[in-house]
Structure 1
Amino acid sequence: MKNRRSFLKKLGTGIAAAGIIPFAKQANAGEVKLKDALIHHVFFWLKEPENETHKKQLVEALNQLTNVKTIKLSHIGFPASTEDRDVVDHSYSVSYMAMFDSQADQDSYQIDPIHLKFVEENQHLWNKVVVYDSIDQAL
C-alpha cells in the first residue's frame, strides 16, 4: 500500500511539473506567431449599459459561443481602466475576441447554428456592434 501511495504521489508531482514546464520560459512577442490565424474582435454597446442583468446575459451567451468547433481561442472583456487618450475608446460595454485557424473557419462560424442562435436570442440587448477582423498577411 505504501508503494502505491508513493507512486501516486510521484505521479501527481510529475504531472503537475509537466504542466508547469511550458510556462517556465516566457515567450516574447517576436516568438509568438499567429500565422494565417484570423482574429475576430467584436465590440458591443448595450442599450442599457448599467443593466447588470443584460450584461450578464450577454456574457453568458458569449461563453456559449466557445462551443463552436472552429474557435481556437476566445476572450470576453470589458473596458480597461487605462489612460484616457484620443485613440482609446472606452465607450463599449463588452468585447469578444475569437481566433480561428483560417478564413474558412471564421466563415463556418458565421453560419454555425450556435452563432445564429446567439444573434437571434441576444440582439435585443445591444444598440451597436462593431467588428474588426484581421488576418496575418506577409508583406
Structure 2
Amino acid sequence: MTDRSRRDILLAATTLAVGATATGARAAASTPAGKAAFPPVVHHVFFWLKNPESSEDLAALLAGLRTLAGIDTVRGIHIGVPADTEQRGVVDGSYSASELLFFDDVAGQDAYQIHPIHKQFVADCEHLWERVVVYDVKAVAP
C-alpha cells in the first residue's frame, strides 16, 4: 500500500469518526439554533513509537496526551490505540497511539499549537516517537 493511499484511508477514517461523534449521544441533546452539532475543526494525530514494544513508552505518551485536555480551546478529546478489529487492506493499525481533538475554529486550533501545555507535551514526549502524521479536517455543510 502506498503512503498516499494510507493517507487517504486515514483521512476517511477521521471523517467517519467526526460523523460518528456528530450522530452519537451528544448529537441527541438539543443544539442551539445556528450551532453545529459537532466542532467544525478536527485535529487527528497518529504517533509511531521508536520502541513500539515498550509498554512504558506507550504509557508515557498516553499520559502526555491526556494533558492536552487542559487547553481551553480543546472542545473534545479522544485518545486511543489501534482497535482489535478485523485486519483488512484498508485498515492501518501500524501506529502506536492517536489523539483526536475538536476545536470551534481554526483560530482555536492555532491557539492550541502555541499553548504552553502543548509545547510542554512535545518537549516531554517527542523523544518517544519516530513518526507523527497529522490530519486537520474542516467540516463541510451536510
* TM-score category of the 2 structures, normalised to the smaller one: 0.7 to 0.9
Show structure 1 runs of 5+ residues with no match.
1-22
Q: Is the aligned partner of 1:131 residue 2:134?
A: yes
| Runs of 4+ with >2 A deviation | none
Q: Is the aligned partner of 1:33 residue 2:37?
A: yes
Pairwise CA RMSD: 2.0
* TM-score, structure 2 normalization: 0.73
Q: How many Å separate the matches in 1 of 2:90 and 2:136?
A: 19
Q: How many Å separate the matches in 1 of 2:140 and 2:132?
A: 25
Q: Is the aligned partner of 1:64 residue 2:67?
A: yes
Match of 1:101 in 2: 104
Task: Say which of 77, 85, 88 aligns to 2:80.
Answer: 77
The aligned length equals 111
**Deviation, structure 1 residue 137:** 2.3
Give the AA of the match of 2:124: E
Structure label with greater radius of gyration: 1
* TM-score, structure 1 normalization: 0.74
Report the secondary structure of 1:117's partner residue. helix
**Percent identity between the two aligned chains:** 47
Q: Is the aligned partner of 1:121 residue 2:110?
A: no
**Deviation, structure 1 residue 87:** 1.1
Give the AA of the match of 1:129: V
- Cα deviations by residue, 1:19-68 (Å, 9 ceiling, x for unpaired): xxxx6xx84xxxx832x621111000000011111111111111111100
Give the AA of the match of 1:132: Y
Q: How many Å separate the matches in 1 of 2:37 and 2:90?
A: 26
Match of 2:17 in 1: none
